[in-house]
Structure 1
Amino acid sequence: MARPTADKAQDILMSDFQTLVADTEKLLAHTASLAGEQADELREQIRESLVRARETLKLTEETLRARGKEAVIVTEDYVQNNPWQSVGIAAGVGFLLGLLATRR
């Protein structure tokens, strides 16, 4: 349910960061030749890109936190409803990790 929102937020974040990088590269390339108003305009574009990237990053963080809370709730419900299966699964995972650890 939250997956499409997280994917969309991640795509937006990547796009904003790509724009930020492009604007920064443009600023660096034109620093020597730009003066006054042109430099101010370019700096404002970069600032706006940073603001958008921060907002998207915040949205992504909120989405990931919500998904993490959902996962904890679902896991807790499963363990409470199926305690013996949970113990069996944990024992199996522990056994497999022990096997992998001893092979190295």
Structure 2
Amino acid sequence: MATTTDNVKDMRDNLAGELKSVIKEAETLLDDTHDHAEKKYNSAREKLKTALETAKTELPKATKKAVAHTKHAAHVTDEYVGDNPWKAVSVAAVIGLLAGLAIGRNK
């Protein structure tokens, strides 16, 4: 009888030891995954932060350039219309006629 009791105790101790080992491995895995996820999160956060900083510095430059191009185009158009008023009126009339025809056909 003592051997059966000893065997049960040994099995219980082995099972408890293995359970502790599984728990420790699970904790280690959780810690490792957390560290890995945290590293990925921090990396993505830094990339986003860099992209935002770039956007903050480049947006005003792009806006300024677009405004300059628009002003130049307006100035060139104004000069052209001033030098060729009848051509400008003719182009506007043709555009108006085409728009009128397109609208008339859709009804």
Normalised-by-shorter TM-score class: 0.5 to 0.7
In structure 2, relative to structure 1, the CA distance for the partners of 1:70 and 1:57 (3 Å cut) is same
Structure number having the greater helix percentage: 2
Per the normalisation by structure 1, the TM-score is 0.57
**Percent of aligned pairs sharing the same letter:** 33
1-structure distance, mates of 2:104, 2:35: 58
RMSD of aligned residue pairs (Cα, Å): 2.6
Q: Please identify the structure whose Cα radius of gyration is greater.
A: 2
Structure 2: runs of 5+ lacking an equivalent:
1-33
Question: Shift of residue 48 of structure 1?
Answer: 2.1
In structure 2, relative to structure 1, the CA distance for the partners of 1:83 and 1:44 (3 Å cut) is same
- In the alignment of these two chains, the number of paired residues is 73
In structure 2, relative to structure 1, the CA distance for the partners of 1:31 and 1:43 (3 Å cut) is farther
- Matching of residue 34 in structure 1 with residue 38 in structure 2: yes
Per the normalisation by structure 2, the TM-score is 0.56
2-structure distance, mates of 1:85, 1:42: 56
Counterpart secondary structure, 2:57: helix
1:79–1:86 contact (8 Å) kept in structure 2? yes
User: Residue in 2 aligned with 1:59?
Assistant: 61
**Greater relative CO, 1 or 2 (CA 8 Å, sep 6+):** 1
